[in-house]
Structure 1
Amino acid sequence: MTSINLADRGVDLGRWDGSAAEFSGAVRSWLDEHLTGEFEHLKSRGGPGSEHEFFGPRLAWDRLLAKAGWTCLGWPTEFGGRGATIEQRIAFHQEYARSGAPARVSHVGEELLGPTLIAFGTQEQKERFLPPITTVDELWAQGYSEPGAGSDLANISTTARLEGDKWVINGQKIWTSLAHVAQWAFVVCRSEPGSTRHSGLSFLLVPLDQPGVTVRPIQQLTGTSEFNEVFFDNATTDASLVVGQPGDGWKVAMGLLQFERGVSTLGQQVGFSRELSEIVEMAKSNGAAGDPVIRERIARAWLELRVMRAHVQRTLATVDTGGSGGEASVAKLLWANWHRDLGELAVAVQGAASLIAPDATSEGAPNNIFDPGNVELDRWQRLYLFTRADTIYGGSNEVQRNIIAERVLGLPREARS
């Protein structure tokens, strides 16, 4: 296998040996130096509900991170990563969030597909796909949910049949984040006719730029369109681009979901903390802090945020021992419900102003920031509307509770029709 070396990108590997505190200082210094000039206006831009913001400049920012060796931190060095420890990765995500650096556009490839290929992929797949993920030259989308399946991944109906040296794919995926800007998608398909539930699935790597693929953006409550429907009409991919063995798609898909909820959640919580702090300042400035109900809700949000942090720290401490198997589901329940409630708190603090769309013609209005064809909202209105989906995407509350009940507590499985 061809080695993917950080040194080939001009990265000084010797600078990063040391404690997590030293690593954190190096991250902070680099961000202070580079999140300026042409990139300064990207601070706090992007992310769920705001992925349309400055996509091109954020892609350029990701590529600058890659050149400096700040992508794929946890990957082994032989695959182009830094081989960073958990402590160093936590330090990076926390410093990144504290700096207000923009949301990454390469998350799906770097945090989800890359580790999955390292764990389950062939040498040829690693050689082909890992380098352009490290350099952010190829972007990925996740083809899991379907209109009739939702969070029930085992109920998918998109099919793939092997014809000679090609897989032929037919079906539909939905809620496919950023598929309209991605070059590739990993797609879970039913590859064994007559199979049901978890059996007979395959995990395929599929190019999106081909005649058999149609990507149709879905306009959200926020007026933006970061989710998509993706239609496969005799789309094809090479027979060699199945990850794991044909029929092992469930195992690979579940392995990927474990990577989805890793150390980056601590950085996510730094962002949550910043949002809460700004809501507190808004409450002080507009007088909402004088309402005892608002004060109680703010205090509850502050306490629950610390509970989330304690849970993630405990979960990370059990990485090597495997934990109980339900930590990721508990974490999803905690942050999704908390963030949804924060959106409700934000509009409660904002008061009547939350019901009025900003005047795009007024001085300082962000009319040059958002897609001109979409309804303009301020950040708190968008937070409220988008967080309605937090308890659904990435595994709904109901699914997470079933996982905890059945796999952790050993309760009887839910009856299925």
Structure 2
Amino acid sequence: MDFEFGPEDRAFRREARAWLEEHLTGEFADAAGRGGPGSEHERAGTRLAWEQELGRDGWIGLGWDADHGNRRATLTQQVVWAEEYARARAPGRVGHIGEKLLAPTLIAYGSKEQQARHLPAVARGEELWCQGYSEPGAGSDLASVRTTAVKDGDGYRVTGQKIWTSLAREAHWCFVLARTEPGSRRHHGLSFLLVPMDQPGRVDVRPIRQMSGTSEFNEVFFDGAEAVETVGGEGNGWQVAMGLLALERGVSTLVQQIGFEEELRRVVAEAVANGAAADPVLRDRLVRQWAELRTMRWNALRTLGRQDDPGAPSVAKLLWGGWHQRLGDLAMQVRGGAAAAGPGAWSAAAPYELDEQQRLFLFTRADTIYGGSDEIQRNIIAERVLGLPKELR
């Protein structure tokens, strides 16, 4: 297959690169490489300002349809922007959940009023969102959701708990999967609700301290919180939620891979510097990691934009989750016994001081679980693609 970019794509790349070079200065340059998976807590204020900088010059909403986005870009140009953004080590986005998940969902399932209310604010970088899906006991198996929503006038009152919610402290809104039909089971009776986060006493966000010492994720408790809108109609939440999950594996997977390439480069550089690369077994593992990363990129480009392959998102998740976890293992193997030591002296004030490679190792333990565990992804491929009998429950 032809994976090359055309003349218009190359011109778009020059424009994107020039804009990033011009604007990644001052506090934005200081926040380079900060934020993103494993470090969402870092430099949140600066990253919010950066989000609005992107919005002012039309770099948010490239993949939306012509009625809603800022500037228009083809699918390959969206890939170009994602690659240049990652290579420039621009600050981790705080608005990506609104741009990449909520907005396409509203375009596909929302009303004209909902689109007019929310999309411009997301495109300006002014309205941030978080995702209220997972619960204790309902992580990869979203059909076990127990959060309820009771009709109240034109809206709903939401009660329940969500967990592993990234950016909940920064978000203005949360899209919530909740059970609106009393007594319903599994994927029946669910609705996709839009909940304002600024409801003191009704919405409580509690950071979750991780083994790395950081608090990227949060618990969110809803106690009769007002939900002003439902997307796709009452009882259709499962269809909307599944449509949204399919969007998670699009151009964003290519952004991930640029970041993965930089992480692999640092692991290889350390192996060369400390002599570990002289070990033929370890050197073979490094080469294998590089080859698998190239294969992931080709697979992502091959499947990009295809809507007729229900297994493509699951294959992508299985590939990158296992690859990234193996990279974390490899980073520690390269370092040897020194991997167990922190970069500085232990103190009660900072008992979890870790360097970048140690955080990589610890965070990648979750890669095969969050976003849909490997077991769930294999079930999807087996049942929906290969037509095998469903797993006994």
TM-score tier by shorter-chain length is over 0.9
**2: CA distance, partners of 1:376 / 1:60:** 28
The reply on whether 1:23 has 2:8 as its aligned counterpart is no
Match of residue 279 from structure 2: 291
Offset at residue 175 of structure 1 (A) = 0.7
* Aligned counterparts, 1:244-323, within 5 A: 244-316=232-304, 319-320=305-306, 322-323=307-308
The one of 352, 356, 359 equivalent to 2:344 is 359
Match of residue 61 from structure 2: 72
Offset at residue 204 of structure 1 (A) = 0.2
Deviation per CA, 1:102-132: give whole Å up to 9, x if none.
2111110010001101111111111111111
Q: Structure 1, unaligned stretches of length 5 or more?
A: 1-17, 362-366
**2: CA distance, partners of 1:122 / 1:337:** 38
Classify the secondary structure of the residue corresponding to 2:149. strand
**1: CA distance, partners of 2:87 / 2:224:** 46
Contact 1:74/1:81 (<8 A) preserved: no
Offset at residue 373 of structure 1 (A) = 6.4
Q: Which runs of 4+ in 1 moved over 3 A?
A: none
Offset at residue 374 of structure 1 (A) = 7.2
Contact 1:116/1:252 (<8 A) preserved: yes
The reply on whether 1:183 has 2:160 as its aligned counterpart is no
Please tell me the residue identity of whatever aligns with 1:303.
A
The reply on whether 1:333 has 2:318 as its aligned counterpart is yes
Classify the secondary structure of the residue corresponding to 2:150. strand
**1: CA distance, partners of 2:338 / 2:172:** 40
Q: Cα RMSD between the aligned structures?
A: 1.6
**1: CA distance, partners of 2:333 / 2:101:** 36
The reply on whether 1:389 has 2:350 as its aligned counterpart is no
* Aligned counterparts, 1:27-38, within 5 A: 27-38=16-27
Please tell me the residue identity of whatever aligns with 1:283.
A
Please tell me the residue identity of whatever aligns with 2:50.
W
Contact 2:28/2:91 (<8 A) preserved: no
The reply on whether 1:225 has 2:215 as its aligned counterpart is yes
Please tell me the residue identity of whatever aligns with 2:157.
V
**1: CA distance, partners of 2:145 / 2:80:** 38
**2: CA distance, partners of 1:258 / 1:360:** 45
Offset at residue 82 of structure 1 (A) = 2.2
**2: CA distance, partners of 1:381 / 1:342:** 11
Deviation per CA, 1:134-187: give whole Å up to 9, x if none.
111121110001101111011111111102223011111111111111111000
**Matched residue count:** 385
**2: CA distance, partners of 1:354 / 1:313:** 35
Please tell me the residue identity of whatever aligns with 2:176.
V
Contact 2:325/2:368 (<8 A) preserved: yes
Contact 2:163/2:220 (<8 A) preserved: yes
Offset at residue 195 of structure 1 (A) = 1.0
Taking structure 1 as reference, are residues 292 and 106 closer, same or farther at Cα in structure 2, changes over 3 Å only? Answer: same
Q: Structure 2, unaligned stretches of length 5 or more?
A: 1-6
**1: CA distance, partners of 2:357 / 2:47:** 22
* Aligned counterparts, 1:132-171, within 5 A: 132-171=121-160
Match of residue 85 from structure 2: 96
* Aligned counterparts, 1:199-218, within 5 A: 199-210=188-199, 211-218=201-208
Classify the secondary structure of the residue corresponding to 1:19. helix
Match of residue 13 from structure 1: none
**2: CA distance, partners of 1:373 / 1:225:** 14
Identical aligned pairs, as a percentage? 59
